[in-house]
Amino acid sequence: MNELIIYQLASVPAIAALGIILGLLFKGIDRVLAARMQARIGPPIRQPFRDLRKLMIKENIVPKNAVRFVFNGMPLLAVAASITILLYVPIAGFLPLMQGYGDLILLLYLLLIPSLALVLGGFASASPYASIGAQREMVSMISYELPLAVAVASIAWLFSRAMPGIASFSLAAIAANPVWELVGPVGFIGLLALFLILLAVMPGEIGVIPFDTAEAETEIASGMLVEYSGRNLALFYLADAVKTVGFASILIAIFLPYGISGTLSLQGANAVAADALFFLLKLFIVVFIGRVLIRVAVPRLRITQVVKAYWGYATIAALCGLSLIALDAILLAGGC
């Protein structure tokens, strides 16, 4: 037991460093690809690392009327929650570090914390622009959490029906038993709909165009972040980067848990390296579709359009996916 605790404590910094490096790297790739798609040159891939270093050495200014301990504490909370997500997610073929101590329900709560930290930090700054941004962020959270919850509940229901006796909300168990192999043709269409819905939820979760109404630089001067600078702003920047990796990793664990070492008949260190590289490829594809492609293709939405998109179209599509999975279960049971 002591050895397990020591192993877990030693692994946390490594996972945190991996999440930070990958998050900043994908931020750089995101900016380069977006620039190329818009016929611009864009910054170098290493630019997010430069931005972080520059922010870390700048003065940390706290507004005179701000609630100081809340204003300074929320960036730390956002980073801590984002890193904690990675401890419960299978990465590159490895089991979650905290396997058995949490499930998809816990991950839904952890995904909320960075956004709540932004909201509380915005209100604590005593800025009218930040207050408007915080109100918009709360509305956005209420909007995208509904289709996200429906999609997660649908996957859990499918898993509990097809794999009785196994924890239906366990992300490690779902990753070990690919959901695509548990359904027929009708259920496959339902799962595909849920996968697309979660890809659409991703830009809302990480607050990028077209769902960045809470920041909207041209309207409310970056909203909740308008009064943040220096290390505090750097920590929110890190939280966004790590949360992107965490959310994409959850999608991969649910829908794309496959490795490549078995297909290539690799063993030992070669198998580990091949699966790790394949995981990075899947991560790139998910981030490209869920972050880069959507934000380049769609302009910023108004807050009313965000609510309509998530509470209307996304939720209806998620319920249709659930209905198709349920219909598939009936058809499979009738066939048996």
Identify the CA nearest to 242 among candidates 10, 14, 16.
16
Q: Which tens digit of pLDDT belongs to each residue from 222-268? A: 667 788 888 888 998 899 899 999 999 999 988 988 888 777 777 87
Q: Which tens digit of pLDDT belongs to each residue from 194-228? A: 999 999 888 888 877 777 777 766 666 666 778 88
**Residue 226 DSSP code:** T
* Residues constituting the chain: 336
Give the span between the Cα atoms of 63 and 312, in whole angstroms.
39
**pLDDT tens sequence for the chain (336 residues):** 566 667 667 778 888 888 899 999 988 888 888 888 888 887 888 889 998 899 888 888 888 888 888 888 889 999 999 999 998 888 877 778 777 676 788 888 888 899 889 888 888 888 888 888 888 888 888 888 889 989 988 888 888 887 776 766 777 788 888 888 888 899 899 999 999 999 988 888 887 777 777 776 666 666 677 888 888 889 988 998 999 999 999 999 889 888 887 777 778 788 888 888 888 899 999 988 888 888 888 777 788 888 888 888 889 999 999 999 988 888 877 755
Give the span between the Cα atoms of 291 and 143, in whole angstroms.
18
Q: Could you tell me the two tokens for 329? A: 């279960």
